[in-house]
Structure 1
Amino acid sequence: MTAISVSRLSKRFGTTQALSGIDLSIGSGEMVCLIGASGSGKSTLIRHIAGLEFGDGGDSRVSIFNVPTQAGGRRLPGARTMRRDVSILFQQFNLVSRLSVLTNVLVGKLGRIPRWRGTFGVFSASEKSEARSALARVGIEKVWRQRASTLSGGQQQRAAIARTLVQKSRILIADEPIASLDPASARRVMDILSDINRTDGITVLVSLHQVEYARRYFPRTIAMRDGQIVFDGPSSALTNAFLSELYGAASEEFVLPEAPAAHPDHRPEPAVTKRLGAFEAA
C-alpha cells in the first residue's frame, strides 16, 4: 500500500516558489530521508504532507494511505480522519515545559480519547502504563515524573518520540529532529527511529542536513533543490562528488565526511534511481 502520495504539488509564498510540481510516492513501511540545502523546500513539503499547509490549487493532490487529504489547494474531509495516523516530530521538541514528562507523552492520546478527558487530563491506568512503556522503549523511563523543562535536548526529543508511539500513528514524519543535538544524542535518536520503522512497520520520513545519517540509516533518499526533487534513489549513491554535482558550492552546507559503515540493519536498497530535471542528461 502507498502510505504517502503527492501529485503536482506547487506552493508559492510571495515571489518565492517554494514547491514546483512535486510528484512523490512512499510505500507503507518505508524509511525515507529528505535532504536539501536551506530553502530547498523540505520543510514546506513536510508541512503539506502533514496537512499543515495547502497547495496553490490546480490539479495538486496529497493522499495518505490512498485517502485524499487535500486537492486543488483545499482540505478534503479525509484530512481529519487521517490526521491521527500521522505523527510529527520537530526540531523544537514541542513539549509543554511545566508538565511532567509522562503527561507530555500522554498528549499523544488526545486524538483517540473523548474530548472531555483530554481537556481535563483524565487518563486511565492502562494509558499511563502504555506511556511509561513508550518512555522505557526510548530509554528514559526513569524521568517520567520530572518536568519536561528539566530534560536535556536529546531526552526531550526521545520524549517526543514516545509521544508518537502512544499516538499509534502509521506514519512518523520528522523535520530536522537531530539538528540541535550533539552527535551521541543524534545517533541515539536515529537508532530509535530506525527501530520503530523496523519493529513496528511504521512509515518514517525524516528531513536531515547531515548526509552521513542519510547514508547510514536510510535505504532511500530524496534530494530537493529550489522546490523540486532532483534525486530519488538509494542513499549509497550520495557520494560527496555526486552531491557536489547536484548542489555545487551549496553542498558544503551538508558537512560531508566520508560515509560511515552501513548500519547493521540497513535494508536492501531500491533498484531504481531517479535523477530529475537538468540532471537526467548528466
Structure 2
Amino acid sequence: MTAITVSNLSKSYGAVQALKEVSLTLARGEMVALIGASGSGKSTLIRHIAGLETGDGASGKVEVLGQVSQAGGRMSGHARRGKVAVIFQQFNLVGRLSVLTNVLIGHLGRAPRWRGTLGLFNRHEKEKAQAALARVGIPQVARQRSSTLSGGQQQRAAIARTLVQEAEILIADEPISALDPSSARRVMDVLADINGKDNITVLVSLHQVEYARRYCKRTVAMRDGAIVYDGPSTALSNDFLAELYGSASEELVLPDAPAEQMAPPHKAEPRNYQTALMSA
C-alpha cells in the first residue's frame, strides 16, 4: 500500500516554475532520500506533500495514506492529515518551554482544544512523551528549556514530538544541514531506527549526499523542478552527482565512495521502482 502518491504536480512562482509535472510514489515503510542542488524543487515538493501549499492547474494531485490531500489546485480536508509529521532545519521548538512540553505538543491534534490551550496534559501523555525522549536518546534533558539544547538535541526532540503525534509518515526537510557530523549521524540513526522498527515512512531531504548512500536504499534526485533520477542509492555515481550539483559537488560528495565502485545511475520512472524491486 502506498504512503505518498504525487501525480503530475506543477508549481510556479511568477515566472519561475518550481515543479514541472512531478510524479512520485512512496510505499509504506520506505525510507527515501531526496537530493538536489539549492533551487532544484526539493523543499517545494515537500511542502506540497505536507499540505502546506497547493499546486497549479487541474491535473496535479497528491494522495497521502490512500486519501486525496490536494487536487486541481485545491486542498482537501482529509482526516489523515494528522498522520503526517514534518521536521525542518530550524527545529521549530518553543525555546522558553521545557523540552518535555515541546514534545507534549505532539498530542494537540488529539487532545481537547481547551486542554491544549491551557497546556494541561495527563499522566499517560507525559509518560508517553518521556518515553519518546528516551527513544531518541535524550531522556535526561526533559526538564531543560529547549533553548539550552544543542542543535542535534533539538532536532531529536522534534523527532520525539512526531512519535507522540503517532505519525505514520515523517517528512524531514534538510534536518541535518545545520549540524556537525557527529550530531548529524545521531539524527540519521534515529530516523533509520524509527523507520525500521515502527515502519514509519520517511522522506528526508539531504544536502550531504553521502548520508543518502549510507541510510536510504532509494534516492530521488531533482533538478530544475523535475525528477531526474529515482532508484537505488548504490547506483549514484560521483560523475552523476558532479553533474547534478556542479561546482558544489566537491563539498557534498565524500571521497569514501569512489565512482569506479558504483554502477552509473539510470533514469527511472518513480511508479516502476517498486515493481523493479519485486522482480529483482
Distance 1:43 1:140 in 2: 28
Partner of residue 265, structure 1: none
Structure 2 CA distance for aligned equivalents of residues 250 and 67 of structure 1: 39
Q: Distance in 1 between matches of 2:253 and 2:233?
A: 16
Which one of 118, 121, 124 corresponds to residue 122 of structure 2? Answer: 124
Q: TM-score, normalised by structure 1?
A: 0.90
Cα separation, partners in 2 of 1:251 and 1:119, compared to 1, 3 Å: same
After superposition, give the CA deviation of every residue in 1:130-184 in whole Å (9 maximum; x if it has no partner).
0000001111111101100111111100100100000001000000000000100
Amino acid in the other structure paired with 1:220: R
CA-atom RMSD, angstroms?
Answer: 1.5
**Once the 2 structures are TM-superposed, how far is the Cα of residue 77 of structure 1 from its aligned partner?**
2.7
In 2, the alpha carbon distance for the partners of 1:90 and 1:247 equals: 22
Name which of 104, 107, 110 aligns with 2:108. Answer: 110
Q: Does 1:96 align with 2:94?
A: yes
Aligned mates of 1:127, 1:245 — CA distance in 2? 49
Partner of 2:278 in structure 1?
A: none
TM-score between both structures, scaled by the size of structure 2: 0.91
Letter in 1 for 2:61: R
Q: Which residue of 2 aligns with 1:231?
A: 229
> 1:105–1:159: 8 Å Cα contact kept in structure 2?
yes
Change (3 A) 1:253 1:41: farther
Counterpart Cα distance in 2 of 1:76 and 1:63: 10
CA shift, 1:255, in A, is 3.8
Which of 181, 196, 211 is matched with 1:198 structurally?
196
Give the AA of the match of 1:51.
G
- Show the counterpart of 1:168: 166
SS at match of 1:24: strand
Secondary structure of the structure 2 residue equivalent to 1:108: helix
Mapping 1:1-282, distance limit 5 Å: 1-78=1-78, 81-252=79-250, 254-259=252-257, 274-275=267-268
Asked if 1 retains the 8 angstrom alpha-carbon contact of 2:83 and 2:168, the reply is: yes
* TM-superposed deviation, 1:246: 3.9
Give the 3-state SS of the residue equivalent to 1:112 in structure 2. coil
Residue 245 of structure 1 and its aligned partner are, at CA, apart by 3.8
* d(CA) in 1 for partners of 2:102, 2:181: 25
Cα displacement string for residues 70-112 of structure 1 (whole angstroms, at most 9, x for unaligned residues) = 001101131xx12210000100000000000000000001101
Alpha-carbon spacing, 1:204–1:255, altered in 2? closer, same or farther (3 Å): same
User: 2:136 is matched by which residue type in structure 1?
Assistant: V
Assess, with a 3 A threshold, how the Cα gap between structure 1 residues 31 and 195 changes in structure 2: closer, same or farther: same
Inter-partner Cα distance in structure 1 for 2:163 and 2:138: 14
Whole-Å separation in 2 of the counterparts to 1:97 and 1:243: 38
Instruction: Note closer, same or farther for the CA distance 1:113–1:106 as it changes in structure 2 (3 Å cut).
Output: same
Give the AA of the match of 2:38. Answer: S
Report the 3-state secondary structure (helix = DSSP H, G, I; strand = E; otherwise coil) of the residue aligned with 1:39: coil
Query: Deviation above 3 Å: which 4+ runs of structure 1?
Result: 245-253, 272-276
Amino-acid identity (%): 69
CA shift for structure 1 position 116 = 1.0
What residue identity is the alignment partner of 2:21?
A: G
Gap runs ≥5 in structure 2: 259-264, 270-280
Q: Distance in 2 between matches of 1:84 and 1:116?
A: 19
Matched residue count: 263
User: Which residue identity does 2:267 align to in structure 1?
Assistant: K
Which whole-Å CA distance do the structure 2 matches of 1:10 and 1:63 have between them? 15
Q: Distance in 1 between matches of 2:60 and 2:127?
A: 42
The one-letter amino acid paired with 2:152 is: G
